[in-house]
Every structure is written in structure tokens, then in C-alpha cells.
Amino acid sequence: MLHCTKYFLISLLIAGSASAIAGEAPVRSMPQIGWQTDLGLGLIVNPEYQGAEDYRALPVPYFDVRYVDAQGTKTFFNVPQGFGTYFLRDRSVSGNRLALSAAVGPGFQNRDTDEFQGLKTFGIGLEARLGAEYDIGRWSLQAGLAQAVASGHEGFYGNLNASYRFVFGRGAIAGLGPSLRFGNSSYMSALYGVTQQESVSSGLSAFAAGSGMESVALQGFLSIPLGSKWRFTGVARAGELIGDAGDSTLTAQPTQFFFVTALTRRF
């Protein structure tokens, strides 16, 4: 059977909260200009693969290196976003914020297990990404596009996210909102398709996965500072595989839950 690596899952879950925290900071106070580095360790609980019934728990590393100027984050290098830069940043008098970014980052891999042999696999590749963020009041709207450029799934996918943010205490922030993911035929086929040849070798029924919606989800996060250097972050996500992703013969359970918790320190 297929399953995504921990790096893909942590990017799914932490990206929204990381962007929300970064976007909120300039509203509350002037940013500290210069390089900022956050390192930490977390735990992720997730399905064994997209569409699995069984879950697993894995420790995950976390790092986030950013260059911050008077407008906020300019350049970033981290697990969720990859390596990139914001090429447009604008904040209106009313406080609304628009930001566009470009980045390259690792994709994700799938691989077969002893239970299901004969399925085509792909390793971790490289993706080119474009991102857009728009903050209006307490709402943070995000859109992202990613195209595989070296190995990996060789496809194209996009994310649409919205989050309503709550700021409380001294630097604590929480958010809750929906997310959507869609992909082209190459992406969907790589994750959810079973060819006739794979059907013979694996015993699974053949399935042709075309372009369209992959999943809908509700995601929430909570990030709390612990003193001046440490921060605790937790992210929970409940999603549903839909369309061909939900109908695939590889999908045993279309309802998927994910949870990540991480303790990080700023250097």
C-alpha cells in the first residue's frame, strides 16, 4: 500500500499555523530585524498512508530559519514552506495584509509494504511552489500551488485554506478553519491510481484516478509561548478524501485524522 512520509504530513499540518503566526507578529509589535532560527522536536500521529485505517506515531524534527525586515518575514527556509522568499508584501492602513511567495521544497514519497507488493513507487522529489496569503481582520486566507520538477509524483496540486485566528495572553495564538486540496491527473494517478499491470501484481482492482478534488478538511492550531525562547504548538486536522481519492481501491478509510505537537526554541 502507499503512504506519505512524515515530512509531507508535517508540512500539511504546520504550514497553516506557521504562516498565521508569522502574519500576526507585525500587527502586535515591530519585528526584530535580522535572522531568526527556531529548532525543535515534535510528535505526529497520522494514518499509515493516505486512506489507511491504521495509525502510527512518529517523532519529527522541526526547523525554521527566517530573515525578517521592517515588513516582516522576507526569506524563509523550513520544513513546511521549503526555501523561498516573499516577492510582494503589502499592508493597508486598516491592517489588511497581502503577501506572495515563491519557493522550492521537498515533495513526498510513497512506498509499498509487505502487505501490498507490486505497486509503483516514487521517492522524495523537488517541487516549485507559489503561495499567496491575505489577512483581513482575524481571517487568514491562503492559496498554494505546487508542481513537481524533479522525480516525485510528477504532478501538480493546489491548496486553499482559511483560518480564523484568536490572539490571547502574551503571544499565544489559535486558529480554526477549512482547507481544500485538488490535483491534476498525474498527481492523483501517482497517489490513488492502480494500473492494469499493478492490479495483476498486487491483487488490487485497477482504478483510474483523474484530476479533481482530493480532500476537504477542518484544521485547528494552538501555539503558546513558554517563556521568552520556547514555544509549544499543536495542530489537529480532520479530513475526508473525496472524488477519485475517496473511491480509489487503495483507500480503506476516506476519513482521516492527523495530529502534530512540537516544542521549539528560538536561537
- Any idea which of 6-10, 78-82, 185-189, 218-222 has the lowest mean pLDDT? 6-10
- Judged against a pLDDT cut of 50, whether residue 7 lies above it is answered with no
Task: Express as a percent the part of the chain with pLDDT over 70.
Answer: 84
pLDDT of residue 29: 55
Domain that holds residue 232: 6-266
pLDDT exceeds cutoff 80 at 60: yes
Give the integer Cα–Cα distance in Å for 219 and 140. 13
Closest CA to 225 of 188, 173, 190: 173
With bands split at pLDDT 50, 70 and 90, how would you rate the model's confidence at 28?
Answer: very low
- Structural domains in the chain (count): 1
255, pLDDT greater than 50:
yes
Following DSSP, what letter does each residue of 82-143 receive, concatenated? EEEEEEEEEE-TTS-EEEEEEEEEE---B---SSS-S---B---EEEEEEEEEEETTEEEEE
Q: Mean pLDDT check: name the lowest of 46-60, 165-179, 182-196.
A: 46-60
Inform me whether the pLDDT recorded for 5 exceeds 50: no
Provide the β-strand partners of residue 64: 38, 78
> In this predicted structure, what is the pLDDT of residue 1?
42
Average pLDDT, the chain: 85
- Residue 227 φ then ψ, to 5°: 80, -160
Better pLDDT: 192 or 5: 192
pLDDT higher than threshold 70 for residue 209: yes
Q: Per the domain annotation, does 20 fall within a domain?
A: yes
Q: Give the separation between CA 259 and CA 234, rounded to whole angstroms.
A: 7
- Tell me the β-bridge partners of 157: 146, 183
Length reported for the chain: 267
C-alpha cell at 244: 477519485
Residue 189 confidence (pLDDT) above 70: yes
Q: Is residue 17, in this structure, part of any structural domain at all?
A: yes
- DSSP type of residue 253: -
- 180, part of any domain: yes
In this structure, are residues 62 and 77 in contact, taking their beta carbons and an 8 Å threshold? no
Tell me what pLDDT residue 11 has.
Answer: 47
Cross-strand partners of 171: none
Average pLDDT, stretch 20-32?
53
pLDDT at 24: 47
Q: Which of 4, 116, 112 is nearest to 58 (CA)?
A: 4
User: Which pLDDT does position 160 carry in this prediction?
Assistant: 97
User: Rg of the Cα trace of the chain?
Assistant: 19
**Rounded to the nearest 5 degrees, what angle is found at the Cα of 7, between the Cα atoms of 75 and 48?**
160
Q: What CATH number should be reported for the domain holding residue 188? A: 2.40.230
Residue 252 lies in a domain: yes
What is the torsion angle, in degrees rounded to the nearest 10, for the CA atoms of residue 200, residue 204, residue 210 and residue 212? -170
Confidence band of 78 (pLDDT split at 50, 70, 90)? confident
**30 assigned to some structural domain:** yes
Q: What pLDDT is attached to residue 25?
A: 45
What pLDDT sits at residue 121? 74
Phi and psi angles of residue 85, each rounded to the nearest 5 degrees, phi first: -145, 155
pLDDT at residue 31, as a whole number: 65
Quickly state the pLDDT bin for 48 (edges 50, 70, 90): confident
Has residue 43 got a pLDDT over 70? Answer: yes
User: Is 1 part of any domain?
Assistant: no
21 occurs within a structural domain: yes
Q: What phi, psi does 31 have (nearest 5°)?
A: -70, 155
Residues pairing with 213 in the sheet: 182
